[in-house]
A and B are shown apart, each in its own frame.
Chain A
Amino acid sequence: MAKASAPKNDLLKGTLDMLVLQTLTVRPLHGYAIAQQIEGLSNDVLRVEQGSLYPALERLQKRGWVTSKWGDSPTGRRARYYTITAAGRRQLGEQISSFDTMLAAINGVLRRS
C-alpha cells in the first residue's frame, strides 16, 4: 500500500488528536465544524485534510476519547456530532502538558527564552 504523501501543513497525528479534542471541549461538533474551528483558530495556518480528520476521529472513538451521535445540523441534513469523554479530557490534559514540555525544550534548543 503506497504511503500518502503528506501535505505541507498537515499535522502530526498526535497533534491533530490534541487539537480535535481541544475543539470539542466547549461543545459537541461535527467533522466539518471541527476542521473549520481548527483552521479558524489558527488563522488558516493549520489546514485539516478530511483524509486525516476522519481517520483521526475513528481512532479517537476506538480509544474511547470521544463518542459520536447522529443529530440534525442547521442545514437540515443529518450530521455526526462528536463529544469528548472524561477519558478524552484527561488525555487532552496530558497531551497539552507534554506538548508544553516539548515546546519549552525546543525553544531552549533554539535559545529563544
Chain B
Amino acid sequence: MSLLDVLKYRWRVLKNPRAHELETGEELDFHVHLEAMQREHAGDGRISSAEATREARRKLGNATYYREETRRASGLQFFDTIAQDTRFAFRTLRSAPTFTAVAIVTLAIGIGANTAMFSAIDALLLRPLPFREPSRLMAVSLTGTPVGRGGVARDDLVWSYLKFQVFRDAQTVFSDLALWRESMFTVRSTGDALRVHGEFVDSHYFPTLGAQAALGRGFTPDDDRQLGGSHLVILSQELWRAAFNGETSALGKILDVDGDTYTVLGVAPAGFKGLSGESAFWIPIASMRPEWHVADDPWAQNFFAIARLKDGVTPEHATSIVAGIGRRIDIAQPDTRGTATPTRFGATARLLDATRVDVQARRILLILFGAVGLVLLIACANVANLFLVRANARRREIAVRLAIGAGRWRVIRQLLVESVILALLGGVASLGVAWIGTRMIASLHPGSALRSQTVSGVRIVEFVDIHLNVEAFLFAAGVAIATGMAFGIAPALKATRPSLTESLREDGSAQRAALRRFSSRDALTVAQLALAVVLLASSGLLMRSLEHLLQINPGFDSDHVLTFQINRAPAWSRDSISKFYDVALARLAAVPGVAGVAVVDCPPFSTCSRAPIVFHDRPPVAHGAEPVVGVHWITPSWPSVVRVPLIRGRYMMRTDDLDRQKVVLINVAAARAFWPNSDPIGKTVSVGGPDTATVVGIVGDVLYESMIEPAKPDVYVSYYQVPFTYRMMVFVKTKVPPTSIAADVKRALAEVAPGFPAYDFRPLTDQFDLSTSDVRVSALLISLFAMVALGLAIVGTYGVISYSVAQRTREIGVRIALGATTTNITRLVVGHGVVLAAIGGAFGLAGALALTRLLRSLLFGVQTTDPLTLAGIAIVLALAALAASWIPARRAAGIPVVRALRGG
C-alpha cells in the first residue's frame, strides 16, 4: 500500500529528525567507503587505502551540501524554516515593542469586548430556553379593556385561578397548560433556615415544560383538588443537596416552608429552575391557605400561565383561537364590582421566547451590540493601519532579503508567521479581556440593571448565565486577525515584486506615497475617528439624558424608606381591616429606628390603578367619556412618610373613618386639569364608583409611572374609608439604614399578625434606581465603548502621523534648512492631525445623526442634535488630534538637518 508507505516514511522522518540525519550521514559514509574500496581495488595495490578514501571524498564533493539537499528532499526543511521564522518573528516583534504592544492591546480590546457583549446577547436573547422544545411554549395572558378616556388596554394581565379554569376548559389549541407564580419562602429541614425562591404550580406545570422528576414523582391532578391540603413539595437538585445531602431517603421526609410542613414528593431534574429561573422548590397552588381566597375569588389575579402548542398548531393560529376563547371569560366570571365601566377581560398568547426580555431591554442590548461592533471596526482599522505602516516601513528590509537570495514565498511566509504570532498573542490577551467583560456584565443583576421582568413572568434568562461564548470569540478573532494579515501581507506582496531597485533607493516609492495628499492610511484613520465620533455622540446623548433624569424631582423622598409587601390577611371583614391597620402600624412605629409607617397600594414606578372621575360641581358628561385619574389607596400618614408636600387644604386624618364623609386628596396636576380657575377644596367627586367624596387637600405631584412624562392627575383615597385589600405595600421611614432593621420589622409584624405573609423587603431607593437603570446601564457601557474607541483612534492617528513624519524626514530637513522654524514644522505636522480629525469628525457627525435616532427611546430631555453634546465632541476630537500629533510634531521639529538631508 503506497499511502501506508508514505505515511510510514514521513512518520519515521518526523519522529526523530536527528536519527534520520545520522542515517543519511551513515549512508553517505558507506558510499564513500565503497567508492574507496573500488578505487583501491582498481589501483591494484598502487593506491593506499587512505589515499583511496581521500579520492573518494573528493569525488563526493561537498558532503554537507548533499546532506542538506537530502534533508530538503525528505521534507524536513519546511520545519527548519518555520522554526527559524518563529524565532526571527519573536526577535522582530521584540525589536518593535510599541508596534507589538499596540497591536496586541488593540486586538485584545476589539476581540474581547465583542466576545463579552455577544456572550451576553447569546445568553439573554439567543440561547434556547432550557425546556423541551421551547419554541412550542406560549405565555398566555389575560387582557383588559381600557379604563375611561385615554386609558390603555392591557394585554399582560395575570390570571386568577377561576378565570383560568374557564379558559383551560374551553381551549383547543394547547396540548397542556399550567398556572404558576413565584414567591420567596423560608425553608427549614434539619439545619438552618434558608431564604429561597419557590413556585406555586399546578399539576400540569412539569408536563407542560417537558420536565420529569429525577427522583420520586411529580404532582397529579389529585394534588390540585385538595384545596388547602396537598402539602407536598418537589425539590430542585440544589435544595435537595442543601437540605437532604442529596440522599434518596429524602422522599417522604418533611420540609418546613414558612412554618408549614410539606412532604417531599420528588426531585426535579438537574438544572431545572422553573420559569422564574431561580426556583428552589415547587408546591401545589392548592396548598395555599384557604384564607387567601386564591382558589375561590375570581379577582385574585395572581398567576402566570404557560401552555404547550398541540402538534401541528402554529403560534399564529393559536393566538387567534385564544382571543376567541377569551371572550367566554366574562360570560363565566362577569365583573360584579358595580363600577360604571366594568372591565371586559379577554385572553392572548405569545411565544414564550418573545417574552424572555422586555422590548426595551432587547433594544438596549442590540444597541450595545451595535456599539461594540463599531469598536471592533475601529480595532480592525487600527490593526490594518499598524500592519500597513509596518509593512511599508519594512519594504527596504524585504527588498534586501530578496536581493540576497530569499525566495518570494519564503519572505511572504516569514511575514505570515509574524502575523500569526502577533494574532495568537492578541488572541490570548483578548481572552482575558473577554473574561473580565463577561464577569462585569454578569455582575449587573437584571433586578438592578435592565428590566427583565416581563409579561410572562419569565426570568429564566439571568445575567449570571452569561458565559464566554466560543463562537463569538472565534468570529471576532477571525475578523480582526484576517484584517491584520490582509493589510500586513498585501504591501509585502507588492514589495516582493521584482522591481527591487526602487525599494532599495532611499527615496523610492514609499517616499512618493507619503507625499501623496491622502493615503490609504489617512483614510483608515479618518474611518476610525468617524466611528469613534458616532460612539462619542451616543455616549454624550445618553449621559445628558441621565443627567436630566437624575435632576428630576420625582415628587417624593425615597431616602431611608424600607418597603415590603403584605398579602390580604385572614378572613378580614370591612370592620376588622381598620383595626388591623391601627394595630400593625402602631406596633411597627414602635420598632427602634422607625420614624414613620404608612401603607400604600402602589409604589412609584409601577402600574397603578386608574378609574374614571365624575364631578358633581358641573354637568355630567357622557358615560365612558369621563376623564381618568390614577387612584391611590393610602393610610393618612403616607404623605408625611415620603415627604409629599401639602399645597393647600389638609392631609387625611385617622378620624376620616368609614362612618364619616369620604375625603380625597388630589395632586397639583389634577387641580390644574379639572379646576383651572377655581378652588378644588370642598368640591365633591366620585372616583370609580357611585360613592361621593370631598376634596380636602392638594398635594404635590408624584411621578408614578414614568420619570419621563409629566405627572398625570391623581387622587388619593384612604384605606380606612375605602377598604381595599388586594395590594398593600408598607413604607417604613427609618432613622437607620433601611435594610438593617428589616428583620426587626418583620418580627414585630409577626407578633401582632402571626402567619401574615410579608415579603419583598427592599429600600425604596431600589425602585428609584430601577426606573433609571436602562439609561444608566446603556450610558455607562456606551461611554466605556466610546472611551475605548477614542483611545484606539488616537493611537491610530498617532501611528499614521509618526509614520508620515518618519517618511518625510528629508522633506522636513529641507524645510528646516531653508529656514522653517520649530513652530512652522509643528504646525505642519499637527495640521495633518487636525485635518484628519476634521474630516473624520464631519463623517462621524453625519453618521451619528443618522444612527443616534436608534437611541431615541432611551433619550430624555435631549435632542439627537443637542448642541452641547456636539460641541463637546468637537472639543474632544480637537484634543484627540492634538494629543495624537503632538509627539510626532516635536520629533519632526527636532530633526537634525544634517541627518535628515543625508537620508538617515
A64 touches B3 (CB 8 A): yes
User: Known contacts being A50-B60, A78-B30, is A65 close to B2, with CB within 8 Å?
Assistant: yes
A75 touches B60 (CB 8 A): no
Residue interface mask B1-44, A partner, CB < 8 A = 1: 01111101110000000000001101110110111010000000
By beta carbon, the residue of chain A nearest B32 is: A50
Which residues of the partner chain A approach B24 to less than 8 Å between Cβ atoms? 54
A-B pairs under 8 A by CB, number = 83
B26 touches A78 (CB 8 A): yes
A55 touches B72 (CB 8 A): yes
A32 touches B60 (CB 8 A): no
Kindly state whether residue A61 has any CB partner on chain B within 8 Å: yes
Min CB gap A96→B, angstroms: 18
Kindly state whether residue B448 has any CB partner on chain A within 8 Å: no
B23 touches A61 (CB 8 A): no
A75 to B3, CA, bound (A): 34
Kindly state whether residue B74 has any CB partner on chain A within 8 Å: yes
Contact size range, A? 20 to 34
User: Known contacts being A54-B24, A54-B27, is A1 close to B33, with CB within 8 Å?
Assistant: no
A62 touches B65 (CB 8 A): no
Which residues of the partner chain A approach B3 to less than 8 Å between Cβ atoms? 64
Which residues of the partner chain A approach B10 to less than 8 Å between Cβ atoms? 62
Kindly state whether residue A108 has any CB partner on chain B within 8 Å: no
Kindly state whether residue B312 has any CB partner on chain A within 8 Å: no
B405 touches A2 (CB 8 A): yes
B405 touches A50 (CB 8 A): no
Kindly state whether residue A94 has any CB partner on chain B within 8 Å: no
A86 to B4, CA, bound (A): 12
Which residues of the partner chain A approach B33 to less than 8 Å between Cβ atoms? 75, 77
- Contacting A at CB under 8 A, from B477-494, are none
Kindly state whether residue B73 has any CB partner on chain A within 8 Å: yes
A79 to B27, CA, bound (A): 7
Kindly state whether residue B61 has any CB partner on chain A within 8 Å: yes
Which residues of the partner chain B approach A67 to less than 8 Å between Cβ atoms? 5, 8-9
User: Known contacts being A54-B24, A55-B70, A59-B73, is A87 close to B5, with CB within 8 Å?
Assistant: yes
Which residues of the partner chain B approach A51 to less than 8 Å between Cβ atoms? 61-62, 65-66, 69
A100 to B24, CA, bound (A): 34
User: Known contacts being A31-B27, A54-B24, is A61 close to B9, with CB within 8 Å?
Assistant: yes
B2 touches A55 (CB 8 A): no
Which residues of the partner chain B approach A73 to less than 8 Å between Cβ atoms? 30
By beta carbon, the residue of chain B nearest A32 is: B34
B66 touches A54 (CB 8 A): yes
A50 to B73, CA, bound (A): 13
Kindly state whether residue A110 has any CB partner on chain B within 8 Å: no
By beta carbon, the residue of chain A nearest B406 is: A1
Min CB gap B831→A, angstroms: 49
Which residues of the partner chain A approach B73 to less than 8 Å between Cβ atoms? 54-56, 58-59, 62
Which residues of the partner chain B approach A32 to less than 8 Å between Cβ atoms? 30-31, 34-35
- Name A86's contact: one of B2, B8, B60, B62 (CB within 8 Å): B2
A44 to B66, CA, bound (A): 22
Residue interface mask B46-90, A partner, CB < 8 A = 1: 000000000000001110011001101111000000000000000
A62 touches B75 (CB 8 A): yes
A80 touches B9 (CB 8 A): no
A54 touches B2 (CB 8 A): no
A64 to B405, CA, bound (A): 32
- Name B5's contact: one of A49, A55, A64, A75 (CB within 8 Å): A64
User: Known contacts being A32-B31, A32-B35, A58-B74, is A50 close to B66, with CB within 8 Å?
Assistant: yes
A30 touches B30 (CB 8 A): yes
Min CB gap B476→A, angstroms: 40
User: Known contacts being A2-B405, A55-B72, A55-B73, is A80 close to B27, with CB within 8 Å?
Assistant: yes
A64 touches B9 (CB 8 A): yes
Kindly state whether residue A85 has any CB partner on chain B within 8 Å: yes
Which residues of the partner chain A approach B66 to less than 8 Å between Cβ atoms? 50-51, 54-55
Which residues of the partner chain A approach B27 to less than 8 Å between Cβ atoms? 30-31, 54, 79-80
By beta carbon, the residue of chain B nearest A77 is: B30
A70 to B2, CA, bound (A): 20
A50 to B69, CA, bound (A): 10
Min CB gap B850→A, angstroms: 57
A4 touches B65 (CB 8 A): yes
Min CB gap B54→A, angstroms: 16
Which residues of the partner chain A approach B28 to less than 8 Å between Cβ atoms? 50, 54
A24 to B8, CA, bound (A): 20
A75 touches B74 (CB 8 A): no
Which residues of the partner chain B approach A59 to less than 8 Å between Cβ atoms? 73
By beta carbon, the residue of chain A nearest B27 is: A80
Min CB gap A36→B, angstroms: 8
Which residues of the partner chain B approach A31 to less than 8 Å between Cβ atoms? 27, 30-31
Which residues of the partner chain B approach A80 to less than 8 Å between Cβ atoms? 23, 26-27, 30
Min CB gap A47→B, angstroms: 10
A50 to B57, CA, bound (A): 11
Which residues of the partner chain B approach A70 to less than 8 Å between Cβ atoms? 23
Min CB gap A84→B, angstroms: 11
Min CB gap A100→B, angstroms: 24
Which residues of the partner chain A approach B26 to less than 8 Å between Cβ atoms? 78, 80
A85 touches B2 (CB 8 A): yes
Min CB gap B60→A, angstroms: 6
Which residues of the partner chain B approach A86 to less than 8 Å between Cβ atoms? 2
User: Known contacts being A50-B60, A51-B69, is A87 close to B31, with CB within 8 Å?
Assistant: no
- Name A62's contact: one of B30, B31, B34, B74 (CB within 8 Å): B74
Min CB gap A65→B, angstroms: 7
A80 to B22, CA, bound (A): 12
A75 touches B61 (CB 8 A): no
Which residues of the partner chain A approach B65 to less than 8 Å between Cβ atoms? 4, 51
A76 to B2, CA, bound (A): 31
A4 to B9, CA, bound (A): 27
By beta carbon, the residue of chain B nearest A88 is: B2
Which residues of the partner chain A approach B35 to less than 8 Å between Cβ atoms? 32
Which residues of the partner chain B approach A54 to less than 8 Å between Cβ atoms? 24, 27-28, 66, 69-70, 73
Residue interface mask B516-537, A partner, CB < 8 A = 1: 0000000000000000000000
Min CB gap B12→A, angstroms: 9
Min CB gap B96→A, angstroms: 28
A89 to B30, CA, bound (A): 27
B69 touches A55 (CB 8 A): yes
Which residues of the partner chain B approach A65 to less than 8 Å between Cβ atoms? 2
A54 to B31, CA, bound (A): 10
A1 to B401, CA, bound (A): 12
Min CB gap A101→B, angstroms: 24
A75 touches B34 (CB 8 A): yes
By beta carbon, the residue of chain A nearest B29 is: A77
A31 to B61, CA, bound (A): 16
A80 to B23, CA, bound (A): 9
Min CB gap A87→B, angstroms: 3
Which residues of the partner chain A approach B61 to less than 8 Å between Cβ atoms? 49-51
A56 to B72, CA, bound (A): 11
Residue interface mask B457-493, A partner, CB < 8 A = 1: 0000000000000000000000000000000000000
By beta carbon, the residue of chain B nearest A74 is: B34
A50 touches B31 (CB 8 A): yes
A–B complex contacts, Cβ < 8 Å, 28 sampled: A2-B405, A4-B65, A4-B69, A31-B27, A31-B31, A50-B31, A51-B62, A51-B69, A54-B27, A55-B70, A58-B73, A62-B10, A62-B74, A64-B2, A64-B6, A64-B9, A65-B2, A70-B23, A75-B34, A75-B37, A77-B30, A77-B33, A79-B27, A80-B23, A80-B26, A80-B27, A85-B2, A88-B2
User: What residues of chain A have their CB less than 8 Å away from a CB belonging to chain B?
Assistant: 1-2, 4, 30-32, 35, 49-51, 54-56, 58-59, 61-65, 67, 70, 73, 75, 77-80, 85-88
